[in-house]
Structure 1
Amino acid sequence: MSDGDIRAAFAAHPTFEDAGDGAYAPTTNDWDATVVVEDGAVTVTVRVPTLSASVTEREDVAPVVEDGWFETLALRLDDATNVTRAEARGDPTVERDDGDVVFEATIDARPENAGDDALAVVNYVEGTWFEGIIPGYDYREGVQDLRDRAAGNAQADQL
């Protein structure tokens, strides 16, 4: 498929906005994510905070805990492209960068599925990150807000 067809699909998708230069950003997510269309493929990049960047400044995360948390997250994110109808181009990468975990994966794109496939990958990364948050720490405001919202949703589901 042509890049123009895929870009048109992202432009028409209700949860993406044009970020310029063939890039699109989802509007429904909590962390930074971008999608770049190039050479008939879609590259999805998601940045989420590391565990130590998520906790308050009053607490320290032991290096062994941080490393184990990151290794587990990276292993779980290996499957992120399995949530799409598209074929992956190579393996995803997961790296640490100044307090962030940066996930990147490239998938072949078909215009009719490109937006939904890219959003599924973004949601998978964010959900997997959230599932890996370790109880017992005091978290920064943005992370604690997510935890509170999840707890409220769980309580509402039980009613």
Structure 2
Amino acid sequence: MTETDADAEPPASRAFDAHDAFEPAEDAWRVVTTAFDAAVSAEPATDEQLRLWVTVTVPTLSAVTVDSVADVVEDGWAETFERRVVDVGGVTRGDGEFDPRVAVGDDGITVTFELRDGNAARAVDDAKALVDFVEGTYVQGVIPGYEYTDPVSDLLSAARRQGNDGAV
């Protein structure tokens, strides 16, 4: 690739390619560092800023438990997750405001953030931070007393190992 070819590549593409948490997909960049389905799509905004949509889909509580979950527990858990996941303050390095959208379905909960930033590298880092925030919020909301299946059982195992190592 010549220098002029690299210069012609959009800044978002260069930033995603340089970040080890993403791999290109047909219409977005997939996040490979989360147990959940997460992707980021991008387009240039008209005001010289990059515009990203960060989408993370997490399973419902009943989708990842061995035993059944009462409807009242499932509904309360989903409502609590939604309230917590839209409280994004301080997660990103950029100054952007977010208007998170949460859609609860039978098989999962999809959280979507719109992110704008004039700095592509920072925007990509912030997109990854938002994915991590959703994953962390999910894991913090896991209810003790249930036996969980993948991917939640793996996430809980990893959290226990990290806690036992004394890592922060």
TM-score computed with the length of structure 2 as normaliser: 0.83
Q: Which amino acid aligns with 1:73?
A: F
Structure 2 residue 148 is the aligned partner of structure 1 residue 143 = no
**After the TM superposition, which residues 35-46 of structure 1 pair with which residues of structure 2 at under 5 Å, given as runs?**
35-38=40-43, 39=45, 40-46=50-56
1:16 and 2:26 matched: no
The structure with the larger Rg is 2
- Structure 2 gaps, min length 5: 1-8
CA distance in 1, matches of 2:25, 2:95: 23
Unaligned runs of 5+ in 1: none
* Aligned equivalents of 1:119, 1:81: Cα separation in 2: 15
Q: Which residue pairs with 2:57 in the alignment?
A: 47
Residue among 24, 30, 33 paired with 1:25 = 30
Give the whole-Å Cα distance in 2 for the aligned partners of 1:54 and 1:7.
34
Residue 141 to residue 8, structure 1, CA distance change in 2 (3 Å): closer
Structure 1 residues 143 and 9: alpha-carbon distance in aligned structure 2, compared to 1, 3 A threshold: same
Instruction: Please give the alpha-carbon distance, in whole angstroms, between the structure 1 residues aligned to 2:89 and 2:29.
Output: 18
Q: CA deviation at 1:92?
A: 0.6
Q: How many residues align?
A: 152
Residue deviations 1:2-25 (CA, integer Å, cap 9, x gap): x9222221122222111133x111
1:50 and 1:67 map into 2 onto residues whose CA distance is: 10
Asked if the contact 1:73/1:129 (under 8 Å) is kept, the reply is yes
TM-score (norm 1): 0.87
Contact 2:36 2:151 in 1 (8 A): no
2:132 equivalent to 1:123: yes
Which stretches of structure 1, 4 residues or longer, exceed 6 Å deviation after superposition?
none
Q: Cα deviation per residue 1:92-151 (whole Å; 9 max; x = unaligned)?
A: 111112311100010103213021100000000000000000000111143212212211
Which of 1, 12, 15 is matched with 1:6 structurally?
12
Rounded to whole Å, the distance in 2 between the matches of 1:82 and 1:7 is 26
1:44–1:7 distance in 2 versus 1, CA, 3 Å: same
Report the alpha carbon displacement of residue 81 of structure 1 after superposing the two structures with TM: 6.1
Residue 87 of structure 2 corresponds to 79
Q: How much does 1:86 deviate?
A: 4.2
